[in-house]
Amino acid sequence: MAITITGGATLTGGANMGTGGAPSPTPAPYVFQGSNYGYTTGGSTDDSNVRDVIDKFSFTSDTDATDVGDLTVAKQGVTGQSSTTSGYTSAGWDGDVTNVIEKLPFASDANATDVGDLTESRTKPAGQSSTASGYTSGGNAVSVVNTIDKFPLASDGNATDVGNLTMARFLTAGQQY
């Protein structure tokens, strides 16, 4: 954007003139993730009946869920994260405590795939999502942990340890803003 002044001009009160370039972009407004469907993965009907089910239910009509796929293995104590195109299930117990990150596509009803690992195995953590990353926080392994793991949503890959909760804990809820 160029400004041309001809015929003389007087500027008073101060003025800042840059060397040019594009105007700064306006930040995009916050958009709440998900307005079509909810997904529930894994779980158990009791301590001996661990499940691998991926259920999908509508947010726009009040109907029952449908089974749309399976996790790579049956597990409970998992947590969930989301991008705009995929859902994720991380951690859990499949007969042993696990560190697996699984991905399920939103565009089609299909089975989940193993796309990476957390930095440590655990069960019953909390899950959070940003526009770029999934987070798994806390959980229980041999002992209760305070680890905050972060994994990429744009590509498949392992998590990195990016910090700690104020105290080790599990069976918590996760939110994001």
Token representation of residue 150: 């972060």
The SS3 call for residue 143 is: coil
> pLDDT of 40-92, one tens digit each?
999 998 877 899 999 999 999 999 999 999 999 999 999 999 999 999 999 99
Domains delineated in the chain: 37-164 (2.120.10.80)
Check whether 6 has a pLDDT greater than 70: no
Q: Assign 142 a pLDDT band (cuts: 50, 70, 90).
A: confident
Within 98-159, strands assigned E span: 98-105, 113-122, 126-129, 133-137, 147-152
Residue owning tokens 């193993």:
114
